[in-house]
Amino acid sequence: MKDPTLGIIFKPSYPHTIYQRLSPISGLLEAAKKTGRCAFIDEGKFKSDKLPTEIAQASDVAVGLLLSGTAALESSLSGAKTVFLNLEKVSSIGLGPADIGNVVFNSLEELFLATDLYRNGGTDREKFGNLSHWVGMRDTHRDGRATFRMGRFINALLMGLDRGEDPDTVLERLKQEVAC
């Protein structure tokens, strides 16, 4: 709230319980919302009705929790600068020491400092929020044809099973074909 040029959008996966979970800081949240620079995307009965990529497109930097990297993956795939908040201090998810301070932050203080540096040109703008190497390990194709590949895989699986082939053998063959 101190920086009048900074806003934040929260998109919890489970919006119906977010205010319960954040009740210890409810006063702070209400004060932040009154500034007009803090918004909660809280539509949805159980899960959020909005996709992470939709919210990421409305931001300069998307922040995801390291232990739930799907939202960060989606945000990065949509072209948004994306960083991880690593409150649990976990390691070995495909990000290395060079990523600390560029895409992985172990505290809110580190994240806010790095964001301020980024906004003021004091950090490597190409490295900050750049998850392309991490995303590349998860989506090696990045060609927009995942639906086609999944359909082909499922079709080949069903055809093999229809021919009476052993399910494990069919899956192993298909895994090898996909790896090529």
Number of domains present in the structure of the chain: 2
Co-location of 16 and 51 in the same domain: yes
Q: pLDDT digits over 80-126, tens only? A: 999 999 988 887 577 777 788 889 999 989 999 999 999 998 878 88
111 and 163 co-located in one domain: no
> Do the domain assignments include residue 168?
yes
User: Does 153 share its domain with 66?
Assistant: no
Is the pLDDT at 136 greater than 70, yes or no? yes
User: Do residue 63 and residue 151 come from a single domain?
Assistant: no
Whole-model pTM?
A: 0.72
Residue 78 has φ and ψ, to the nearest 5°, of -85, 5
Same domain (yes/no): 150, 61: no
Residue 122 and residue 173 in one domain: no
CB atoms within 10 A of CB 31: 12
Q: What is the pLDDT of residue 162?
A: 96
41, 50 Cβ separation under 8 angstroms = yes
Quick one: pLDDT at residue 140?
Answer: 75
Task: Give me the pLDDT at residue 52, please.
Answer: 85
With respect to residue 81, please indicate whether it lies within any of the assigned structural domains.
Answer: yes
Residue 94 within any structural domain of the chain: yes
Same domain, 132 and 150: no
Note whether 95 and 36 are same-domain residues. Answer: yes
Q: Is residue 1 part of a domain?
A: no
Tell me how far apart the alpha carbons of residues 111 and 83 are, in angstroms, rounded to a whole number: 9
Reading the block at residue 39, the tokens are: 């918004």
> Which of the two residues, 150 and 69, has the higher pLDDT score?
150
Residue 167 lies inside a defined structural domain of this protein: yes
- What digits encode the pLDDT tens for the residues 34-65? 999 988 887 777 777 788 889 899 888 999 98
For residue 26, the enclosing domain spans 8-138
Is 76 in contact with 70 (CB distance < 8 Å)?
A: no
Classify residue 2: in a domain, yes or no. Answer: no
**Residue 64, Cβ density class (10 Å: 0-12 exposed, 13-18 middle, ≥19 buried):** buried
Instruction: Output the average pLDDT for the chain.
Output: 86
Same domain, 92 and 175: no
Same domain membership, residue 99 and residue 68: yes
